[in-house]
Amino acid sequence: MPANPGRNPFAGNDSPPLVDIRYRCGLVARAVDPNKRRWTPWPGRTDSFDIVSWQPATGKDYELVWPT
């Protein structure tokens, strides 16, 4: 998975591809709309739900995958 660029890589795209996102806590959200996620970290702190990496979605259905 590529690292989070600190901004939505599909900003301005009205029909972006779905992506899989890995959060700092290890949770992976699959097949999400990138325009509906917060790509920039909270200022002055780290958060468990900061996006650390992403990739184009491999499936079609939304899914949460918990770390094992």
Q: What is the pTM of this model?
A: 0.86
Cα gap 22→29, rounded to integer Å: 7
Residue type, 22: R
Short-list 23, 24, 19, CA closest to 60:
19
- Say yes or no to pLDDT of 2 above 90: no
For 12-62, write each residue's pLDDT tens digit: 998 999 999 999 999 999 999 999 999 998 888 989 999 999 999 988 888
Tell me what pLDDT residue 56 has. 94
Tell me what pLDDT residue 42 has. 86
Alpha carbon distance, N-terminus to C-terminus of the chain? 18
Q: pLDDT category, 67, cuts 50, 70, 90? A: confident
- Tell me the CA distances in angstroms from 27 to 1, 13, 55, 57, 62, one per residue in order: 14, 26, 14, 15, 13
